[in-house]
Amino acid sequence: MVLVSAELTPSVRTHGPVPAPARDYAVAKLGAALRHAPAPVPFARVTLDSTGHGEYAGAQVDVGGVPVHVHAAGETMTEAVDRLQERLRARLRRMRRRPAQGPPSPPVGTAGPLPA
């Protein structure tokens, strides 16, 4: 397990009337889920949306160079954020257990000059 730097504070985007406690709750839950990351996490962003029917939470995270996107909806923002945390934890566990199933790394030394 990789420890997430204490300096990493996820950026938060909101759409609609999202109270400050909901933003703080989302940041705390995202941080808790990222403790399970199998690689360093240099970037994390959470999006909270309460403009549609129900509440929506999404996260975009860079886990060791691999982009991870997770989304969840709920009747309340707390429910949406809790579901988001569960999905992100599950995704990070899969990445840890099955590293070969992630996006392939580009071959080393294959990027030659462009043809003329």
Q: Where are the domains of the chain?
A: 11-43+52-100
The Cα 67–Cα 53 span in angstroms is 28
Q: pLDDT tens across 52-106, in order?
A: 888 999 999 999 888 999 999 999 999 999 999 999 999 999 888 876 655 555 5
Average pLDDT value for the chain: 84
The fold of 11-43+52-100 is Double Stranded RNA Binding Domain (3.30.160)
Three-state secondary structure of 35-101 = CCCCCCCCEEEEEEECCCCCEEEEEEEEECCEEEEEEEEECCHHHHHHHHHHHHHHHHHHHHHCHHH
Full-model pTM: 0.77
